[in-house]
Amino acid sequence: MSDVEKAITRVHQEEWARVVAALTRRFGDLDIAEEAAAEAFAAAVERWPGDGVPPNPGAWLTTTANRRAIDRIRRESKREDKHREARTVYDDDPPEPLGAIDDDRLRLIFTCCHPALATEARLALTLRMVGGLTVAEIARAFLVTEAAVGQRITRAKAKIKAARIPYRVPSAEDLPARVSGVLAVLYLVFNEGYLATGPDSGPLRHDLTAEAIRLTRLIRALLPDDGEVAGLLALMLLTEARRPARVSAGGELVALDEQDRGSWDAALIAEGHRLVRERLAAAAAGVAPGRYQILAAINAVHTSARDIRDTDWSQVLALYDQLVRLDPSPIVALNRAVAVAELDGPEVALAAVDRLEPRLAGYHPYHATRADLLRRLGRSQESRAAYTRAIELAGNTAETAYLTRRRDQLG
């Protein structure tokens, strides 16, 4: 890649959301903003190799995009009435002060993740408008057709306009719920990258995990005092840190107890631990941690152990107990049982897992966890049946390979 190409890629990552957000604010229309921003970046690709990268690339892009938007509005004079009409919808007041940064990108993120939009629409819209991914890239990421992604985005934009979903940072009262909606979207993107589904998909999708981390870092910069934002970022970093050890050369998933801990990314772990310590200090000062912070703390315990045998399981269990109080879902109970197995033995854990059967019978980790506990109890035949069920339900190629090997190792 040439220096100019590198510069364009970097500027695209840094400036795309800013350009779209500023244009949306100015023109009151996501459609115009998206198109004009895309045209401005296309112009950069065309002109920068010859003219050189301008001294302030962000300003160049914003100016170019503004001109393109105005051109389009002039071209479609009918549009202009719509534009004036739409403009009044948008709140021209600066967002309520949240930390040090007042940024249109926050408005953009909250609009894209609005609870009145379907989850798939929020995902696609956020990746397009905030992340700057193309429709083709989003389609590849979620294994759906470009037409389907295009339609989701078009419909979402039409709903935002017709129903007047505001371009605004929510009020302080609504903020925690709305931030949690944004984080849920980013966590979905991350998880799809970390445990990609589908037979044709690679087991890990670094493009998706990296994008989720990049966007979460952005939210962290915009909402530096939000504990759950810090928690989710830490959780992603500590999970991503283990990526190099997670899939074997043969394409098989490597479980935590068999991973080469030396290949974990020390810089990501250090950054994740710093964030967890920051949240622990806040918790000590009386701020109750939310679920992402607790999950991050659990991952901090795992990534602190140089060897699986050094894992502080009682700490892990205490954190799961805390999480169960916050989120009494059967999935949390299942993960808690893994820690119980280490402390109280597989028999106690199996009894806890079996109680979850009515609610988790279609969830492959339930069967994989049972299979492992039954194997440790020497109940090979039942273990084999549980592995088989887990293999049938699992969607990830590396995980299927791992489960198959474990099943075949049963005597």
Partner 1 sequence: MQYLVSVIDDKSNPGRTDRQPAISAFNERLIAEGHWVFAGGLADTTTATVVDNRGEQAVFSDGPFVESKEYLAGVWVWEAPDLDVALGLATEASRVCDRKIEVRPFL
Q: Which residues bind partner 1 (CB under 8 A)?
A: 89, 114-116, 162-166, 168, 170, 174
Which token pair is 179? 């931030």
Residue placing its CB nearer to partner 1 in the complex, 3 or 92: 92
Least distance from partner 1 to the Cβ atom of residue 115, Å: 8
- Characterize 88-98 residue by residue with b for buried, 16 or more Cβ atoms within 10 angstroms of its Cβ, and e for exposed: eebeeeebeeb
Closest contact distance (angstroms) between CB of 234 and partner 1 is 30
Instruction: List beta partners, residue 126.
Output: none
In the complex with partner 1, which residue's Cβ is closer, 52 or 115? 115
Nearest CA among 210, 211, 277, 202 for reference residue 240 = 210
* Sequence-ordered alpha helix ranges (H) in 52-145: 57-75, 77-87, 104-112, 119-125, 135-141
Nearer to partner 1, 165 or 390 (CB): 165
Comparing CB distances to partner 1, the nearer of 158 and 270 is 158
CB 209 within 8 A of CB 240: yes
CA distance 140 to 149: 10
- Give 162 or 267: the residue with its C-beta nearer to partner 1: 162
Least Å distance between CB 178 and partner 1? 9
Distance CA 256, CA 238 (A): 13
- Beta-carbon-side half-sphere exposure of residue 321 (alpha carbons within 13 Å): 7
Integer Cα distance of 373 and 370 in angstroms:
5
Contact in structure between 291 and 327 (CB atoms under 8 Å): yes
For residues 116 and 118, which CB has a smaller minimum distance to partner 1 in the complex?
116
247 phi, psi to nearest 5 deg: -125, 130
Backbone angles phi, psi at 93, to 5 degrees: -70, 150
Least distance (Å) from partner 1 to the CB of residue 320? 33
What is the smallest separation between the CB atom of 155 and partner 1, expressed in angstroms? Answer: 14
Supply the minimum distance, in Å, between the C-beta of residue 163 and partner 1: 4
Give the length of the chain. 411
* Distance of closest approach, residue 160 Cβ to partner 1, in angstroms: 9
Give the Cβ contact number of residue 179 at 10 Å.
Answer: 22
Nearer to partner 1 (CB atom), residue 170 or residue 227? 170
Nearer to partner 1, 115 or 395 (CB): 115
Neighbours of 245 (CB within 10 A): 17
Q: CA 81 to CA 73: how far, in whole Å?
A: 10
**Minimum distance, C-beta of residue 334 to partner 1, in the bound complex (Å):** 31
Q: How far is the CB of 82 from partner 1 (least distance, A)?
A: 12
Nearer to partner 1, 6 or 164 (CB): 164
Spatial distance between the Cα atoms of 144 and 161, rounded to a whole number of angstroms:
25
